[in-house]
Amino acid sequence: MTLLHTTRVRRRRLGVAAAAAAGLFATLLAAGPAVATPDPGDKPAKEETSKSQQAEAREAIQNDEIPGVDEIIHSDNMSHVANVPKEHLKGTNSDIAFQGKYAFSGNYDGFRIFDISKPSKPKTVAQVLCPGGQNDISVSGDLLFLSTDASRSDNSCSSVSAPATEKSSWEGMKIFDISDKRNPEYVAAVETACGSHTHTLVPDGKNVYVYVSSYSPSATFPDCQPPHDGISIIKVPRKAPEKSEIVDFPVLFPDGGNPGAPTNPGVSATTGCHDITVLPSKDVAAGACMGDGILFDIKNPEAPRIIDRVQDNVNFAFWHSATFNQAANKVVFTDELGGGGAATCNEEIGPKRGADGIYDVIGKGDKRKLVFKSYFKIDRPQADAEVCVAHNGSLIPVKGKDIMVQAWYQGGISVWDFTNSSKPKEIGFFERGPVTLDQVTTAGPWSAYYYNGYIYSNDIAKGLDVIKLDDRRTDEAKKVRMDELNVQTQPDYFEDFRH
């Protein structure tokens, strides 16, 4: 059993290194779009580290600057309640969704359903083998949605990998009936252009609209042709999901979006969106779209309208995801520098590259503008063997405060306050030490979400973690009880919840 430590590590804060940093920083920039290929593929990063890097990491461990291999550390206001290791599904763990007493865990090999009625003892209810990275997951009523962004031989759960250059290959959305949690039933599939890297649900009465984000077209891919400057919208009838169909492909970037390198070195060219977060109670959405961040109106879910668009060609490499505050007057965008395959939480990279960008939303209606306020990045240094990147997080519902929990791969889990947009600060953390010191390894929390009083984290390598946060600044959130939560479909926590 892993020993639980409650002591804080001594912090060596991440500053902007000077000449020594220039070499690595230039390498990351010169690599262009390849640096920002998002999320680990079927073969996660396993690049060997140098002897000097290993020696430096061992010294840092000895000096209590970073935790030891697989050692758990956390701030005093966080405690590790439970861990459920992987079982039959051995692939990369990805996103999480929630409904009632259940958590639904995505995995590149399929998905897993947990009974979390007792958070200290989660129980596996079902494991469904259905390979198709990255299996981004959402639930709504009796339906479960699963993204396939890996070219497959067909749309079945017994498919095998197939070249994207073959017209017969398949990628897109899969839909399951989960009315019986122990026996999910695969009921429908919809092929989408360039597959479905992530998706976002927009519930609308008898129907559910699915915004499908995908990207990276190629003239050699019959089903993923350039230009690819929009999103696929699928309409799903709740009572007849087999009739699901694409109803539109709105072009979000008529000008082609951010051109990337060489115009903007180190920035990904925009060829679609990576992830979209909607706030239905405000009829608004935010898109993280490779080289661009966008704000759009979704009053008509079949016809989203762009309100504003921003770029950061100095410090952002790949716009990965977005989170609104509850008032919808702020958006936190994340930058997936290194594509989830590089060590980027260190002095060489510094505190602004690979950080979150906090934007205030100024104005009303179609005159709203995204205005940059500050960056936030964990300042706990990580070893050069640790893949560390800003990843999926959620709000912690506290009235009058803007607080969220966020996953950082091997950087662990951070709880931070951005009530003051210009001065964000971390108020809690949980992390494991390096998986190993001899190679750069993709591991750590993919998603970290707050749900009904606990933080649930889907660790890429270690399985499901349950963490309790006890802090006077967030204790009020424990009163908020949700019946369902898909983080990319943000609820109005103070209108939609039940006591």
As a whole number of angstroms, the distance between CA 294 and CA 308 comes to: 6
User: Are residues 296 and 283 in contact, defined by beta-carbon separation less than 8 angstroms?
Assistant: no
* Residue 60 backbone phi and psi in degrees, to 5: -65, -40
Instruction: State the average pLDDT over residues 337-364.
Output: 95
Angstrom CA distances, 151 to 133, 134, 161, 249, stand at 9, 11, 6, 20
DSSP of 241-301, one letter per residue? GGG-EEEE--BS-TT-S---TTTSTT----SS-SEEEEEGGGTEEEEEEBTEEEEEE-SST
pLDDT at 381: 87
pLDDT at 15 over 50: no
User: Are residues 205 and 174 in contact, defined by beta-carbon separation less than 8 angstroms?
Assistant: no
pLDDT at 30 over 80: no
Least confident of 34-48, 113-127, 299-313, 450-464: 34-48
Name the helix (H) or strand (E) containing 95. Answer: strand 93-99
Query: Of all residues in the chain, what percent carry a pLDDT higher than 90?
Result: 84
Q: Assign 29 a pLDDT band (cuts: 50, 70, 90).
A: very low
DSSP of 33-76, one letter per residue? GGGG--S--SS--EEEPPHHHHHHHHHHHHTTSSPPTT-EEE-T
User: Are residues 289 and 296 in contact, defined by beta-carbon separation less than 8 angstroms?
Assistant: no
- Kindly report, residue by residue over 447-469, the tens digit of the pLDDT: 999 999 999 999 999 999 999 99
Q: What integer best gives the mean pLDDT of the chain?
A: 91
Instruction: State the average pLDDT over residues 279-286.
Output: 97
pTM: 0.92
pLDDT at 25 over 70: no
- What are the structure tokens assigned to 478, written together? 């424990």
pLDDT at 45: 65
pLDDT at 40: 46
More confident residue, 440 or 26: 440
- Kindly report, residue by residue over 200-224, the tens digit of the pLDDT: 999 999 999 999 999 999 999 999 9
As a whole number of angstroms, the distance between CA 406 and CA 444 comes to: 12
pLDDT at 411: 97
- Kindly report, residue by residue over 44-55, the tens digit of the pLDDT: 566 788 888 888
